[in-house]
Structure 1
Amino acid sequence: MTAVECIYQKIKRSRRYVFERKDFDDVASYDQVGRALRQLVKQGDLIKIGYGLYTKAKLNSLTGKPMPTHPGGTDALMREILKMKGVDFEMDSLSWQSLSGQSTQIPSSVQYSWNPKQFNRKLVVGNRVLNSQN
């Protein structure tokens, strides 16, 4: 089984939606993992969302472009990344009320804030950009 096949199987079996390059260190060498991840991104099975961060993807039936498979959408994907990295973050009050069930109004986008010394990367999922200036 090739490195691409091993990594693809590991991703498909996982319950997680966000992966780091180091998650596949046990599969192959650093360079092989990089080539395999690039190939999976090219095939549309993964989306690169930041430096060393990838998410599961599927092809959008309307546009034919890869989109994240996370059932909670891009906001849940961003929360998973921040939790995975151990970053203490806060959401704006309207988003927090909506997610906790205190409000029926749904915000158009969730605004996050955190200490940029903890996590200083730019994450891009589709049109959504998340960086420490938010």
Structure 2
Amino acid sequence: MAAVDSIFQKIKRSRRYVFERKDFDGIASYDQIGRSLNQLMDRGEIMKLGYGLYTKARVNSLTGRLMPTCPGGSDALMREILKMKDIDFEIDNLSLQSLSGKNTQIPSSVHYSWDQKQFNRKLVVGNRLLTPASRP
């Protein structure tokens, strides 16, 4: 089985939505993994979120553009990335109240804050740019 097929099967069978390049170390060499990930991006099976971070993808039936398959959207992807990297983060109060059911207002986007020394990458999900907000 080719490296591309092995990596695709691993991604397809996984319950996670975010993957790092190092998740595929046992399958092929570093260069083969890079080429395989590029081929999967060209085929529309995955999309790149940032340096070394990828997510499962599918084509949006309305726009015809690639979008993440994660049911929670970009906010769920962001939480998964921060948890995967073991980074302490905080969510703004309005979003916390909405997520816990204390408030019926739904924020347009969830704002996260964390220590930039722990994780300082630019992540792009569709049109949304996810960057760290300063901690209060």
TM-score by length of 2: 0.96
Cα RMSD for the two superposed structures: 0.9
- Per-residue CA distance 1:18-45 (angstroms, 9 max, x = gap): 0000000010000000000011011110
Does structure 1 residue 64 correspond to structure 2 residue 41?
A: no
Question: Structure 2 stretches of 5 or more lacking a match?
Answer: none
Deviations for 1:24-77, whole angstroms, at most 9, x for unmatched residues?
A: 001000000000001101111001000000000001112211100001111011
Bigger CA drift: 98-107 or 18-27?
98-107
SS at match of 1:56: strand
Match of 1:112 in 2: 112
Q: Which residue of 2 aligns with 1:24?
A: 24
User: Partner of 1:124: helix, strand, or coil?
Assistant: strand
Please name the residue that 2:50 is paired with. Answer: 50
What residue number does 1:8 align with? 8
Counterpart residue identity of residue 96, structure 1: L
Deviation at residue 105 of structure 1 after TM alignment: 0.9
Aligned residue pairs total 134
Give the letter aligned to residue 12 of structure 1.
K
After superposing the two structures, state which structure 1 stretch, 60-69 or 18-27, moved more: 60-69
Percent of paired sites with the same residue: 72
Unaligned 5+ runs, structure 1: none
Residue identity in the other structure for 1:116: Q
The structure 1 segments of at least 4 consecutive aligned residues displaced by more than 2 Å after TM superposition are none
